[in-house]
């Protein structure tokens, strides 16, 4: 509605000394299979909290830093302790950190996840369900999740102006989210028509190439300035 920057999502790229920039689509699945995703994820969380803490102390107008958390970080490590430590080390206001967990993972073991989400919530952070609409959601569980936000998967946004089906799904997710007192953010907005349509549907927030491509922290700071 305002066009203002409300937050940032921490993304990772691999600058390889010989092969150049390597896409996360290439190395994240590998990191997940080898277990390296655990130390990488830990580094990402700590680095993102540190960066956000610096930006907040400089007084920039930014509300939230979103950090993606992978399944193995939840099943193989103590995510709650990690988040707690990262917040303490960086003295970041917990209300400025949003942890994103994919719908596919959340629904894998909903009972276990509800417990974890409540423990994370108790730290004062925000929680979002990522890639919503693609992960076999159980609506019966959704109402028990202590979350703030649904992220409409980019696959629905991509063809939203092209056919009535994707528009209908996006509208349904927005309506569902609002009925549960959740905010809804659309992922992967690339065109103004998509933004206009989503806005008319009542979608609260948006992200994607229309607003900004992935950039370095330094470049993002220029944007905030």
Binding region for Mn ion (CB under 5 A)? 68, 100, 130
Smaller CB separation from Mn ion, 18 or 40 = 40
Residue 164: CB minimum distance to Mn ion, A: 27
Helix (H) or strand (E) holding 126: strand 126-132
Place of tokens 């994370």: 120
Residue 104: CB minimum distance to Mn ion, A: 12
Smaller CB separation from Mn ion, 129 or 198 = 129
Smaller CB separation from Mn ion, 8 or 201 = 8
Smaller CB separation from Mn ion, 46 or 149 = 149
Residue 225: CB minimum distance to Mn ion, A: 25
The pair of three-digit structure tokens given for residue 222, joined into one six-digit string = 């220029």
Residue 21: CB minimum distance to Mn ion, A: 20
Smaller CB separation from Mn ion, 100 or 103 = 100
Geometric angle at alpha carbon 116, from 28 and 157, rounded to 5°: 50
Kindly list the distances between the CA atom of residue 223 and the CA atoms of 61, 145, 164, 211, 217, in Å, as whole numbers in the listed order: 11, 34, 35, 11, 10
Geometric angle at alpha carbon 218, from 91 and 11, rounded to 5°: 75
| Residue pair 151/182 in contact by the 8 Å Cβ criterion | no
Residue 59: CB minimum distance to Mn ion, A: 27
Geometric angle at alpha carbon 210, from 44 and 29, rounded to 5°: 35
């Amino acid at each position: 509605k305002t066009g203002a920057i409300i937050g940032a999502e921490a993304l990772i790229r691999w600058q390889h000394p010989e092969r150049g920039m390597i896409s996360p689509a290439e190395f994240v699945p590998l990191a997940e299979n080898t277990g390296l995703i655990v130390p990488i994820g830990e580094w990402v969380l700590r680095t993102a909290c540190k960066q956000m803490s610096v930006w907040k102390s400089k007084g920039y107008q930014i509300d939230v830093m979103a950090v993606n958390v992978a399944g193995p970080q939840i099943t193989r490590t103590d995510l709650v302790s990690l988040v707690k430590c990262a917040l303490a080390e960086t003295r970041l206001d917990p209300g400025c950190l949003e942890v994103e967990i994919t719908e596919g993972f959340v629904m894998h073991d909903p009972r276990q996840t509800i417990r974890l989400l409540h423990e994370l919530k108790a730290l004062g952070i925000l929680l979002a369900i990522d890639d919503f609409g693609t992960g076999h959601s159980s609506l019966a569980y959704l109402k028990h999740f202590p979350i703030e936000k649904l992220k409409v998967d980019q696959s629905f946004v991509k063809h939203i102006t092209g056919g009535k089906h994707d528009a209908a799904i996006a509208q349904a997710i927005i309506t569902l989210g609002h009925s549960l007192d959740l905010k809804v953010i659309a992922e992967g907005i690339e065109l103004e028509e998509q933004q206009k349509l989503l806005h008319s549907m009542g979608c609260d927030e948006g992200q994607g190439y229309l607003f900004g491509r992935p950039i370095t922290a330094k470049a993002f700071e220029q944007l905030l300035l």
